[in-house]
Structure 1
Amino acid sequence: MLRQIHSLPGLVAALLVAVLALTGAVLSVQPALERFAASSVVTGTISVAALAEAAQAQHAEIDKITKTASGSVVVSYFDGDKAGADLADPATGRVIGPHSPSATIRFITNLHRSLLLGTAGRIAAGLGALAMVVLTITGAMMLAARLGGWTALLQPIRGNARQRWHAQAGRLAIVGLLLTALTGCFLSLTSFELIPDGLAEPVATASGGGGARASVGSLAALQAVDLADLRELAFPYAADPTDTYRLTTAAGVTQIDAATGEALSFQPHSTARQLYETIYMLHTGQGLWPLGLLLGLSALAVPVFAITGAMIWWQRRRSLPRIADNRPASAADTIILVGSEGNSTWGFARTLHAALTQAGHKVHAAPMNALARAYPKAARMLILTATYGDGTAPASASGFLARLDRSALKLPVAVLGFGDRSFPQFCRFAEDVAAALAMRGWPALIEIDRIDRQSSQSFALWGDRLGTALGHGLTLAHVAERPKTMALELVKRVDYGAEVQAPTAILTFRLPGAAAGRALWKRLFPASLPPFEAGDLVGILPPGSTVPRYYSLASSAREGILEICVRKQPGGLCSGFLNDLPLGGRIDGFIKANPAFRPNASAAPLILIGAGAGIAPLMGFLRANRSHREAHLYWGGRSPASDFLYRDDLASCIADGRLSALNAVFSRVAEGGYVQDRLAKDAQQLAALLRRGAQIMVCGGRDMAGGVSQALDAILAPMGLSTATLKASGLYLEDVY
């Protein structure tokens, strides 16, 4: 719901809010420009009486003298029937030059306030400010939820480039945008008199006596007022002997007899007027030019929001599965909730939805995060969920357990987990969900079941069990949808490890070269690799399989190559295929972003830890370390003579400063060991790096990662830390398999 509230006004009002923000950013510079262009007004420099007398000596008929918030003094006058305005020196009252406001600024001001559309435009601008309030508050709530609470708002932001830009811009601009939006809403309401602005004409206790007017410089009531306190002095109308001076200061409005200089009345500014002027100052920066510049910088984040937000929405929209005849939640008798990270689980949900619909059920499918407060006609709920990483919730189910805590629902339920049995936390999240439901008294429609490696046969058997519970046959003939792939050609391979029974290959792929007779425009403008970074994944479909295997990338798309490191696993379908692939051979693959495994932007040290083929993304990070960030690599192999992966590349990185220290350990040499042993040996050096805020990145097998975690916990314990606390702050990242 929160995401929908955030997205709807953002999509509808993106262009409007961007126009208001950009014009506001331009106007925000004006207070600073005016402040530095104006002469400084200091207390005690000159009285209002002296300034007025100097101005009157230069113009026969003056309408008013105004001191702007920036400190400029503007004298408005009449020369016959022609009006004019001069800038005056605050110290002497002498004319500096004509006052001619910029036509461009007037245009931008009108565009900002009313979109050049009069009353309708002012209404639209007010709604735009309201939309920005909603977007800012909901965006802050979503960011806090994503990072783990309000206290974690300053933690590193993970995600793809669009998500990071969107969230980072919001985090930097949130205070300025909220201040601008709230004050903009207030000013819009006052412009339509829905909220009083406190502006009222002063009520005189008496009119002027009508005698001969004294010199303005001799008026005691004006002599007592310092120029620094002046806002406006309106002169009496020449043809009316009873008209008075009207002096406006920060305190209020005073009427002054033009003949005697006596103060006839004083009306202090109301609380409403003081509030209005404060909010006007906070919105425009007038009188607070540093604030104006900060608000302008905040406003520049809005176009970034509009572009990245639209891209995020479109990507999410495009990736959502399309399920035919998906009934509204309020009308469905069967609810299917899906927890998925890469959308593969949605394919199974679609098959289940179609089979239940064909059997006469009214079915509603939605992400687990969309668990509703009530399903009025539902008789059952079916939950299909994958497990992400080390037993955690996938993206579309990250908020499910929290929603369940607040729910009063109790429907018969069946939970089906999807995962890979080779992982220690196989279907862990599905088990957590089933346990949470049982604890809250949800009756089990059938026992929890698990699907290994997207097995269609296991899914069909589960369908038989579900059909029995429902009292009718249920045939689930699932055919996995083949991912959209690209052909890649092997152009280089370096083989290692045969002597130590761990055959491993570094494989370099490119897009296939131009074929003979290919169209000229295709040769001039060849296809390029899709965007990816080191640490992202390539999914590869081995011959005869629709289930991809994923490998971490040691290269980025900028290098024009796709490089992976693959160890041949006993009986491994894909690893065997890749290790036997000859030069010129081709694979079918696709990119899967892995934004949760990237070095942060800190200048603190980087500690890279891996073993075997897990060195691939770490090597990619080192290649990209052009800023020469301090980096320490701990890596384990079997024998330096047989499987010292990337030996030459690592030497090059040490030579040019991209790698600060290489700590390689081998298990099949005299006095050898494992990478966790080397960590324990270097405990003192590592502790010093960790005290400096170092980020740790681990890639490799789960057994290795478990040993590494134990070794580091022993180092962190004296500091009152652990790998778990570092994980929570983004300083400990794992990509393990």
Structure 2
Amino acid sequence: MLRSVHRWPGLILAVLILVSALSGAALSVFPALERLSSPQAGAEQSLADLLGRVGAAHPGLEQLRRAPSGQISAWWSDESGTPGRAVVDPATGTDVAPAATSPAELWLTDLHRALFLGRNGRLVMAFSAAGMLVLTLTGAAMVARRMGGWRHWFGRSRGPWPGRVHVDLARFAVGGLMLSSLTGLWMTASAFSLLPDDSAEPDPVLAQGLPPLPPERIALFATTPARDLVKLTFPDPQDPTDVYTLTTTGGTALIDPGSGAVLASVAPTAWERASAIVTMLHTGRGAAVLGLILGLMVLSVPVLVLTGTVQWLRTRRSGVRIPGNTAAGTAETILLVASEGGTTWGFARTLFDGLTKAGQSVHAAELSQFDPARYGRAKRFILLAATYGEGEAPTVARGVLARIAALPAPPTAPVAILGFGDRSFTTFCGYAAQLAEATRTLGWAELIAPCQINRQSPQEFARWSRDLGAALGIALDLTHLPEVPPAVTLSLISRRDHGAEVGAPAAILRFALPPIGLWARLSGQGFARFQAGDLLGVVPAGSDLPRFYSLASGRRDGFVEICVRRQEGGLCSGQLNDLQPGDRIAAFVRPNPAFHPEPGRKPLILIGAGAGIAPLAGFVRANRRGRPVHLWFGARSKDSDFLYGDDLHRWQDRGQLATLETAFSRSARPEHVQDRMSRDRAALSALLAEGAQVMVCGGRDMAAGVRGVLNDILAERGEDLTRLKAEGRYAEDIF
């Protein structure tokens, strides 16, 4: 529901919101320009002094105004009765510029307020402001849900680039967009007299008809700072009963020009003060710096529209959008999915189709939308959960465990939990296990016992579906065919071979960049925008399952590069190692944003062994700004499988790599990379004290040893890896 309320106003009102945002951002510049170009009244200058100086330059002075920017404008009639007006210098009273709003500002103002359509246009733009407010409120709620709660509002965002950019910009701009929307609606309501109108005006009175005093001799003018002036209207010289009307920030007063006495005065009402503040906040007049900040925040709207549209289009193409999805409030089966890379959604679609064909009414959604109150007719819940990293929740499921724990009572409908993972990892289906534990602690009844699927096994999924069908009393035997994204053809242009002498043959394979279509360039998909650490998916001949290899290059490098060690009996690694220049493969890119270096100048610690050097080498290659990068690398032999050895030394000479520490298990002094780290614990401790980020890539045994060493080093500082992970300073890509 929240997602729909956020999505459809954004799509429907996109053009209006863009016009409002861009014109508003452009208008925010004018108050600052006016402030910078306008001479300001001095702190000690009185209104009487200002009147004396301006009156000397313009004897027929009729009105004086001070804008919120501090700009002072004068209106007068000369001896012949010809009217004139100008911006004046309060220090001299002389003219400095014409007192006229620029045509560009007038044009933008009319566009921003009413689309050049008068009152009807103002109603349309008010509708746009209301839509922006809805988008801001629902967007803030969705960001909080995505980040795992309001407490984690400023945490590190994860996921594909459109989502990350959308979330990061939303967190930056949400306050400004909400303020601009609310103040815009207030001003529209005021323009249509929908707000209370209790503006204060002093009761009209007549002057005594005495000969007028020089303005600078009137007592109130002498005690009023020039900076408090809003407007001063002079009495008609032909009418001896007319009076001065002085409006300042403190109210309005009527003054006898002959005696200088204050005949009547009134202070602004609360509504007037509130309206003045709202106008200042919305226009930036009187708060130029705030106006520029709000304008900068509003400038995020075009990017938010773009990234939001890209996400919507991707959703339509992915499993998140399921045709025939039953509404949440009427479905009997609630299928909730927690997926990091999207593959779990393939199984969800297969399950959805099977249950639907069996006569079930099914609602499928991301696990982040879990809320028992939404599912009024639910008879069962089915949770499909992948695991991110070391037993962590996928991005879309952050905070769900806390929501389950906070429920006052378990849902009446039972739950079935199916986890997806890889048994080679110690935290196999770790997040699904946490979900199962949370539901048991709550006392939530189980439909069937929790189950796990290893490496997307279609056979294990089929067995589980039969067990689910038996529990539901229906025939269910599902065959899942893994979905492979559209692949493109890559041509091998070079290869470098290593490790044959030590029984660990590996090849660094470099492919030419494929042609990139217009939509891919605009949306940043596939090979249009990839970087080291992302994954290259290759489906070997004779298999339906893709194998993934970490990329050692990015789009800016102009080629696609991976490092592949030949595995005994490995179907894909064998085929790739047999490639020769000119041979071709079909491949696709899968983003892996969780394994990208955080931006900044803090040190970067890279740790890898064997073919795990590939993404780490890519990070060093991309380090063109000289960030301090420190690499610990382990291999068997310096002479045989020192992958990227020549490149690393060259990058070190160029300043792209600060230090290179190596460990070789078949050398005069045999050691593994974790052993070398133990020897260098002082250097590692110093780097960690500087806030270094740690990135590890390689086999799981190596990664376990590295974690042990790092935990020992961190323990001496009263820290641990859990804290580093929470700070976004530790990432692994292990196999």
- TM-score, structure 1 normalization: 0.91
Cα distance between partner residues in 2 of 1:216 and 1:321: 74
1:358-377 correspondence runs (5 A)? 358-374=357-373, 375-377=375-377
**2:587 partner amino acid:** G
Corresponding residue for residue 345 of structure 1: 344
Cα distance between partner residues in 2 of 1:579 and 1:300: 49
Larger deviation, residues 679-688 vs 121-130: 121-130
Cα distance between partner residues in 2 of 1:42 and 1:221: 18
Corresponding residue for residue 657 of structure 1: 655
Provide closer, same or farther for how the CA distance between residues 52 and 627 of structure 1 changes in structure 2, counting only shifts above 3 A: same
1:224-303 correspondence runs (5 A)? 224-303=223-302
Cα distance between partner residues in 2 of 1:50 and 1:736: 75
**1:354 partner amino acid:** D
Corresponding residue for residue 34 of structure 1: 34
1:49-128 correspondence runs (5 A)? 51=51, 54-55=54-55, 58-60=58-60, 62-78=61-77, 83-96=83-96, 98-128=98-128
Provide closer, same or farther for how the CA distance between residues 162 and 321 of structure 1 changes in structure 2, counting only shifts above 3 A: closer
Per the TM alignment, residue 609 of structure 1 is displaced from its structure 2 partner at its CA by 0.5
Provide closer, same or farther for how the CA distance between residues 272 and 664 of structure 1 changes in structure 2, counting only shifts above 3 A: same
Cα distance between partner residues in 2 of 1:361 and 1:311: 32
Per the TM alignment, residue 314 of structure 1 is displaced from its structure 2 partner at its CA by 2.3
Larger deviation, residues 606-615 vs 551-560: 551-560
Cα distance between partner residues in 2 of 1:124 and 1:678: 67
Provide closer, same or farther for how the CA distance between residues 670 and 410 of structure 1 changes in structure 2, counting only shifts above 3 A: farther
Secondary structure in 2 aligned to 1:477?
Answer: coil
- Asked whether the 8 Å contact 2:146–2:396 carries over to 1, the reply is no
Cα distance between partner residues in 2 of 1:512 and 1:210: 90
Q: Which of these residues, 459, 462, 466, is aligned with residue 461 of structure 2? A: 459
Per the TM alignment, residue 337 of structure 1 is displaced from its structure 2 partner at its CA by 2.4
Corresponding residue for residue 518 of structure 2: none
Secondary structure in 1 aligned to 2:278?
Answer: helix
Task: Say if 2:732 is the partner of 1:730.
Answer: no
Per the TM alignment, residue 174 of structure 1 is displaced from its structure 2 partner at its CA by 4.2
Cα distance between partner residues in 1 of 2:662 and 2:499: 16
- Asked whether the 8 Å contact 2:320–2:366 carries over to 1, the reply is no
Provide closer, same or farther for how the CA distance between residues 100 and 583 of structure 1 changes in structure 2, counting only shifts above 3 A: closer
Provide closer, same or farther for how the CA distance between residues 207 and 341 of structure 1 changes in structure 2, counting only shifts above 3 A: same
What is the CA deviation profile of residues 391-436 of structure 1, one whole-angstrom value per residue up to 9, with x for unaligned ones?
Answer: 2233444444344335541323322222223222222222322332
**1:328 partner amino acid:** A
- Asked whether the 8 Å contact 1:55–1:75 carries over to 2, the reply is no
Corresponding residue for residue 335 of structure 2: 336
Corresponding residue for residue 524 of structure 1: none
Larger deviation, residues 698-707 vs 36-45: 36-45
**1:247 partner amino acid:** L
- Asked whether the 8 Å contact 1:49–1:216 carries over to 2, the reply is no
- Asked whether the 8 Å contact 2:64–2:231 carries over to 1, the reply is yes
Per the TM alignment, residue 536 of structure 1 is displaced from its structure 2 partner at its CA by 0.3
- Asked whether the 8 Å contact 1:158–1:164 carries over to 2, the reply is yes
Secondary structure in 1 aligned to 2:328?
Answer: coil
Corresponding residue for residue 560 of structure 1: 558
Q: Which of these residues, 469, 487, 490, is aligned with residue 489 of structure 2? A: 487
Provide closer, same or farther for how the CA distance between residues 713 and 149 of structure 1 changes in structure 2, counting only shifts above 3 A: farther
Corresponding residue for residue 195 of structure 2: 195
**1:320 partner amino acid:** G
1:415-434 correspondence runs (5 A)? 415-434=417-436
Cα distance between partner residues in 2 of 1:50 and 1:633: 69
Corresponding residue for residue 186 of structure 1: 186
**1:104 partner amino acid:** A
- Asked whether the 8 Å contact 1:198–1:276 carries over to 2, the reply is no
Larger deviation, residues 322-331 vs 570-579: 322-331
Q: Which of these residues, 560, 566, 569, is aligned with residue 567 of structure 2? A: 569
Larger deviation, residues 531-540 vs 562-571: 562-571
What is the CA deviation profile of residues 665-692 of structure 1, one whole-angstrom value per residue up to 9, with x for unaligned ones?
Answer: 0112232211111111111111111111
- Asked whether the 8 Å contact 2:149–2:399 carries over to 1, the reply is no
Cα distance between partner residues in 2 of 1:141 and 1:366: 17
Corresponding residue for residue 381 of structure 1: 381
- Asked whether the 8 Å contact 1:166–1:309 carries over to 2, the reply is yes
Task: Say if 2:702 is the partner of 1:700.
Answer: no
Cα distance between partner residues in 2 of 1:716 and 1:373: 41
- Asked whether the 8 Å contact 1:130–1:181 carries over to 2, the reply is yes
Provide closer, same or farther for how the CA distance between residues 152 and 383 of structure 1 changes in structure 2, counting only shifts above 3 A: closer
What is the CA deviation profile of residues 200-253 of structure 1, one whole-angstrom value per residue up to 9, with x for unaligned ones?
Answer: 32124x422234444444444434434333221112234543221111122211
Secondary structure in 2 aligned to 1:505?
Answer: strand
Provide closer, same or farther for how the CA distance between residues 369 and 607 of structure 1 changes in structure 2, counting only shifts above 3 A: same
Structure 2: segments with no counterpart, 5+ residues: 516-524
- Asked whether the 8 Å contact 2:492–2:510 carries over to 1, the reply is yes
Secondary structure in 1 aligned to 2:623?
Answer: coil
Corresponding residue for residue 680 of structure 1: 678
**2:666 partner amino acid:** R
Cα distance between partner residues in 1 of 2:369 and 2:154: 28
Cα distance between partner residues in 1 of 2:50 and 2:622: 68
1:458-477 correspondence runs (5 A)? 458-477=460-479
What is the CA deviation profile of residues 136-174 of structure 1, one whole-angstrom value per residue up to 9, with x for unaligned ones?
Answer: 444445445544555655554444433343333334444
What percentage of aligned pairs have identical amino acids?
47
Corresponding residue for residue 320 of structure 1: 319
- Asked whether the 8 Å contact 2:535–2:591 carries over to 1, the reply is yes
Corresponding residue for residue 599 of structure 2: 601
Cα distance between partner residues in 2 of 1:173 and 1:381: 37
Cα distance between partner residues in 1 of 2:361 and 2:139: 35
Per the TM alignment, residue 59 of structure 1 is displaced from its structure 2 partner at its CA by 5.0
Cα distance between partner residues in 1 of 2:308 and 2:221: 56
Corresponding residue for residue 445 of structure 2: 443
Per the TM alignment, residue 492 of structure 1 is displaced from its structure 2 partner at its CA by 1.7
Cα distance between partner residues in 1 of 2:732 and 2:427: 14
- Asked whether the 8 Å contact 1:49–1:218 carries over to 2, the reply is no
**1:300 partner amino acid:** L
Cα distance between partner residues in 1 of 2:329 and 2:154: 40
Secondary structure in 2 aligned to 1:708?
Answer: helix
Secondary structure in 2 aligned to 1:280?
Answer: helix
Cα distance between partner residues in 2 of 1:630 and 1:687: 15
Cα distance between partner residues in 1 of 2:26 and 2:82: 32
Cα distance between partner residues in 1 of 2:457 and 2:650: 45
Corresponding residue for residue 520 of structure 2: none
Larger deviation, residues 544-553 vs 719-728: 719-728
Cα distance between partner residues in 1 of 2:394 and 2:565: 28
**1:720 partner amino acid:** G
Secondary structure in 1 aligned to 2:69?
Answer: coil
Cα distance between partner residues in 2 of 1:133 and 1:592: 35
Cα distance between partner residues in 2 of 1:150 and 1:359: 41
Provide closer, same or farther for how the CA distance between residues 208 and 607 of structure 1 changes in structure 2, counting only shifts above 3 A: same
Structure 1: segments with no counterpart, 5+ residues: 514-526
- TM-score, structure 2 normalization: 0.91
Secondary structure in 2 aligned to 1:33?
Answer: helix
Per the TM alignment, residue 52 of structure 1 is displaced from its structure 2 partner at its CA by 5.8
Corresponding residue for residue 7 of structure 1: 7
Secondary structure in 2 aligned to 1:100?
Answer: coil
- Asked whether the 8 Å contact 1:534–1:553 carries over to 2, the reply is yes
Cα distance between partner residues in 1 of 2:138 and 2:695: 32
**1:564 partner amino acid:** I
Cα distance between partner residues in 1 of 2:514 and 2:287: 61
Task: Say if 2:610 is the partner of 1:612.
Answer: yes
1:615-630 correspondence runs (5 A)? 615-630=613-628
Cα distance between partner residues in 2 of 1:642 and 1:175: 58
- Asked whether the 8 Å contact 1:335–1:381 carries over to 2, the reply is yes
**1:365 partner amino acid:** A
- Asked whether the 8 Å contact 1:606–1:632 carries over to 2, the reply is yes
Provide closer, same or farther for how the CA distance between residues 314 and 323 of structure 1 changes in structure 2, counting only shifts above 3 A: closer
What is the CA deviation profile of residues 258-316 of structure 1, one whole-angstrom value per residue up to 9, with x for unaligned ones?
Answer: 33222111112223322322332233332333323323322322222222222223223
Larger deviation, residues 566-575 vs 150-159: 150-159
Cα distance between partner residues in 1 of 2:109 and 2:544: 59
**1:505 partner amino acid:** A
Larger deviation, residues 11-20 vs 692-701: 11-20
